[in-house]
Amino acid sequence: MLVDEVVLKIKAGRGGDGSPSLLRNGLTAKGGPDGGNGGSGGSVYLIGTTNVADLRYFRFKKKLTAEDGGKGGGRRLFGKNANDLRVNIPIGTRITDLQTEKVYEIVDNTPLLLARGGRGGRGNLEFKTSTNQAPAYAEYGKGGQEKMIKLELRLIAEIGLIGLPNAGKSSLLSVLTNATPKIGDYPFTTLEPNIGMMGTVPIADIPGLIEGAAEGRGLGAKFLKHIEKTKVLVHCIELTEGDVLEKYKTVRAEFENFNSELLKKPEIILLTKIDLVDEKTIKKNMALFKKMKKKVLTCSLFDDQSVEDLKKVLETVV
């Protein structure tokens, strides 16, 4: 299951308390202050990475808490500074601070400081003055910052495979990339977007779109946001049944309804399952799209050369 939205609490560590210790030993009945400072609390950072594909890690984890700083001690002992908590999230995640509504986009691996750890309290050593040689007090450590945040994943695929249900999108993803999506000879096999890597190029396969998808019919609308950032769309249209142009227009109409910017994206028409139709049908449909000045390719899973040719074209367009 693709986890693409979570709300969680993040809490930086508290600073350690300073120590109010006064030195006592055999030589000194009433010695000076020797209480050390507390250590600072750990901060919480989120870091973009390409190694994590979704927000699954947070599915049952509703809170990220960094360590508290160590307490200061007698004999000038300073408390330990706590380690920061650094958590990897996928590049492409949008973070919203739910109190301030401030939004951060994770676009690279620069650590983003979200909750700063509390400062350690000062020990009594630091409060010693000419008039108060032996202060018996120290500071408490400061609390760490706390925030409620929302993480939203937007897959940054460079290429999006789109089309009606059963067009062969997931099959293509499985031959173009390392992904192993579910493939079935019935519509709506894909219920969640899949993403695979063709070398270094991420390709997304989204559930099939149908008329009314942009208003919530079928499954597609919820996932159209995942293709908003792609550079190229591969519009898969299978040739075995239905009017090819009608099918093309149905999907384009959904783009128009959802976000007309999608219509401006470079588009490759991919006529699929050509092993199941005759040469005449292929030629006729290619001509149709060529006349519309569209870039059109054909493909069959059973023709390795057609898959290789498609790969080559995709590599040059991203």
Ligand X SMILES: Nc1nc2c(ncn2[C@@H]2O[C@H](COP(=O)(O)OP(=O)(O)OP(=O)(O)O)[C@@H](O)[C@H]2O)c(=O)[nH]1
Instruction: Scan for tokens 């390795």, then name that residue.
Output: 304
Residue 276 interaction partner, one of ligand X, Mg ion, none, beta carbon < 5-8 Å per kind: ligand X
Residue 43 carries which side chain, given as an amino acid letter? S
Closest CA to 251 of 203, 297, 211, 192: 211
Close Cβ partners of 234 (under 8 Å, ≥ 6 residues apart): 159, 160, 161, 162, 172, 267, 268, 270, 314
Number of H helices, E strands in the chain: 5, 14
Segment interacting with ligand X, rule: CB under 6 A, options 82-90, 183-191, 254-262, 284-292: 183-191
Smallest distance, ligand X to C-beta of residue 210, A: 9
170 lines the binding site for ligand X (CB under 6 A): yes
Q: How far apart are CA 81 and CA 117, in angstroms?
A: 10
Instruction: Please give the full DSSP string across 174-233, using - where no structure is assigned.
Output: HHHSS------SSTT---S-EEEEETTEEEEE-PPP-TTGGGT-TTTHHHHGGGTT-SEE
Backbone phi and psi for residue 182, each to the nearest 5 degrees, phi listed first: -75, 135
Q: How far apart are CA 267 and CA 227, in angstroms?
A: 12
Residue selected from 19, 21, 43, 170 as contacting Mg ion according to rule CB under 5 A: 170
Residue 42 interaction partner, one of Mg ion, ligand X, none, beta carbon < 5-8 Å per kind: none
Residue selected from 187, 259, 297, 311 as contacting ligand X according to rule CB under 6 A: 187
Q: How far apart are CA 221 and CA 159, in angstroms?
A: 18
User: How many chain residues are in contact with Mg ion, going by CB under 5 A?
Assistant: 4
Smallest distance, ligand X to C-beta of residue 313, A: 17
Segment interacting with ligand X, rule: CB under 6 A, options 4-12, 52-60, 144-152, 167-175: 167-175
Segment interacting with Mg ion, rule: CB under 5 A, options 75-83, 119-127, 185-193, 301-309: 185-193
177 lines the binding site for Mg ion (CB under 5 A): no
Smallest distance, Mg ion to C-beta of residue 206, A: 8
151 lines the binding site for ligand X (CB under 6 A): no
Smallest distance, Mg ion to C-beta of residue 205, A: 6
230 lines the binding site for Mg ion (CB under 5 A): no
Residue selected from 276, 287, 290, 315 as contacting ligand X according to rule CB under 6 A: 276
Cβ neighbour number for residue 131 with a 10 Å cutoff: 5
Sites of contact with ligand X (CB under 6 A): 165-171, 183-185, 187-190, 207-208, 272-273, 275-276, 300-302
